[in-house]
Structure 1
């Protein structure tokens, strides 16, 4: 049997969506795919259904460079509810325990979060997409199975209290700037455990993902209103160039001859390449007409070897 044919437009680019609450990241991908009638779409780092905010989506050939955004640092605004523990460590979960947190003070919270700034080890929550023997942890958790998880190294660049509201169930609003792979739910769980009251994430909003901020994001409501009964092409102006995920890399330009060989997988000589990088560095590669060809690595003999190519 032949491969199932894919339908949709062959479009390339990056869309920055303000993800609404209640949708999975895959839900967002599928909705964007339908709105744009796109052949191929993918996200660049999952957000929990509870979460809102910046979720870059890659279309077409841009999906080849999504890993660079997966590896990027993130910024979150979150509200931790202290005095209540849930099985998922967020507000979508089942309440397991409540403890009167009326005695909790802002000073105690500040002291408790101090050890979680900088380079830390974090144990991923059971309700996560990480896999154990091929099974996502969240599926095991739903069956009541808990497995040992190895602590992972992450970096918390900034962990700042924005507001504190005391009470039987206290709330603290925090700003967290962190490296890839950081679980905000784990930060909430750890804080609640250290304070002795338990805690979970009540709200979570991603305000920055790599170079993209919430100010650049558009909503599905806005896209649906703009499209109306028009063809999907009317939305294409929202797409950023396909090299956007690697925009932080230095760029080199090739003449027609070199571009031809590079795009066919062969290393090419780039004059004075060491002025823009060192051996092993990855660079963006463009044709002298402005066409993005992909990314390549600088070799020890001053050439640029293809690493990830765009298919025209």
Structure 2
């Protein structure tokens, strides 16, 4: 009779807001935090480029069930780009594919170009992206010299603000919807100007309501572990759903929800929609249950913590 394999790590649940260092892949960040917490399961809420820094929410344990709601959140970036050079990857790591002289360009002229990249636009993702084709990431195909057709995607750029323009360098602040590729945005801006462009530096300053000031450096996590204070950086799962409507359920009703049963929605509930479910104890203490959907006066559990 064979031995039952033990799960590696501890069942730790929560969210860590990491300020991802330059040069780390998102998966490398996941593995480092997983080892540091000795956690059984860790995932991220959306890939951040290896050359980028900034906000990378990491979900531990049961929080991974709700990571998709971080994926759907809007993102904010600080971007520095260089005109006159286009690369295969859209950043400084790629091979140069075009190099053209940069004509004198003032802020008004550049803003006219940026106007075309504000609001809802179509964007064709780069071959150097994590989008999968027949189960294989596009960037792996690109590294083999293979290029495949990619369908344009609808994205929304709610902010595309020119912060600085000096010579062939310019800086932007960008607020955008999920699925936006900043390297592609800069490449397209450069092509519209006519001289090409690529990203020189990229920092993600926000994911949804999480800002860079909410994040922790990995070195601080390591130091906290040495002093036994690592848990202070583990946020509750419910922070992923901070903007959702709360539905508070008494203990006996919460029990039914945990069994997967729909229950009568409280009188103060919206008529329909997705909500955050909380169990309220007799003394008013709230415990996160998961998410539910309200329809026809009932709230049905859709995804719960266990």
Q: TM-score, normalised by structure 2?
A: 0.94
Q: Is there any run of 5+ residues in structure 1 with no aligned partner, and where?
A: none
Unaligned ranges ≥5, structure 2: none
Work out which of the residue numbers 239, 258, 270 in structure 2 matches 1:277.
270
Q: CA deviation at 1:95?
A: 2.1
Aligned to 1:258: 253
CA distance in 2, matches of 1:30, 1:77: 26
What is the count of residue pairs matched by the alignment? 301
Q: Secondary structure at the match of 2:11?
A: coil
Structure 1 segment 1-312 matched on structure 2, within 5 A: 5-166=6-167, 170-228=168-226, 230=227, 234-272=229-267, 275-279=268-272, 281-289=273-281, 290-300=286-296, 302-311=297-306
Instruction: Answer with 183-192 or 128-137: which moved more.
Output: 128-137
Aligned structure 1 segments of 4 or more residues deviating by more than 6 angstroms:
none
1:35 is paired with a residue of what secondary structure? Answer: helix
Distance change (3 Å), C-alpha of 1:73 and 1:4: farther
Q: Deviations over 1:5-33 (max 9, x none)?
A: 32212111111100001011000101111
Structure 1 position 160, deviation (Å): 0.5
Deviation at 1:108, TM superposition (A): 2.6
User: What does the per-residue CA deviation read over 1:203-242, in whole Å, with 9 as the maximum and x for residues that have no partner?
Assistant: 00000100100011100011112223x55xx211111111
SS where residue 120 of structure 2 aligns?
strand
Structure 1 residues 278 and 187, CA gap change in structure 2 (3 angstroms): same
CA distance in 2, matches of 1:34, 1:77: 30
C-alpha separation between the residues in 2 aligned to 1:21 and 1:95? 22
Distance 1:3 1:132 in 2: 36
Q: Secondary structure at the match of 2:163?
A: strand
Q: So what's the TM-score if we normalise by structure 1?
A: 0.93
**Structure 1 residue 3: Cα displacement:** 7.7
